[in-house]
Amino acid sequence: MLFDKEQLLDDIGGDDELVQKVLDCAALEIPKEVEKLRVCCAGSDTEAIRIQAHGIKSIAADLYAAELRESCAKVESAAKDGNLERARAMLPELEQVAKVTVGALYESP
């Protein structure tokens, strides 16, 4: 499961319309935030990478998107450790997971 719509629906009090708005917003924001992370990884500021990965991780957590949250946590951890190359090496996985997750958000009934 790429994200848990039922848990999100439960958290929001069963409001289908509001959940759909949250999913639509996330589907638009995640690619923008991943692009910002890509730009950060092109540089050498591990603190910027950590902060950006943490922000995406927060979005993923709000959606109960465990796989995306975990990918972000790996990049965030590498950056926190000052390991720029490891953070950069994990970026393609995060990008792929984000792409698949966003696709699932758009397909959500």
| pLDDT tens-digit readout, 89-103 | 999 999 999 999 999
User: Do residues 94 and 75 make contact, with C-beta atoms less than 8 angstroms apart?
Assistant: yes
pLDDT in tens, 35-71: 999 999 999 999 999 999 999 999 999 999 999 999 9
Q: Please compute, for residue 32, the number of CA atoms within 13 A of its CA located in the half-sphere on the CB side.
A: 6
Cα 92–69–12 angle (5° rounding)? 140
Query: For the chain, what is the domain count?
Result: 1
Separation CA 49–CA 79 (nearest Å): 6
Identify the domain containing residue 57 by its residue range.
5-107
Would the pTM of this model clear 0.85, i.e. be above it?
yes
Q: Judge whether residue 109 has pLDDT over 90.
A: no
Q: Is the pLDDT of residue 11 over 90?
A: yes
The CATH number of whichever domain residue 94 belongs to comes to 1.20.120
Q: So what's the pLDDT on residue 27?
A: 96
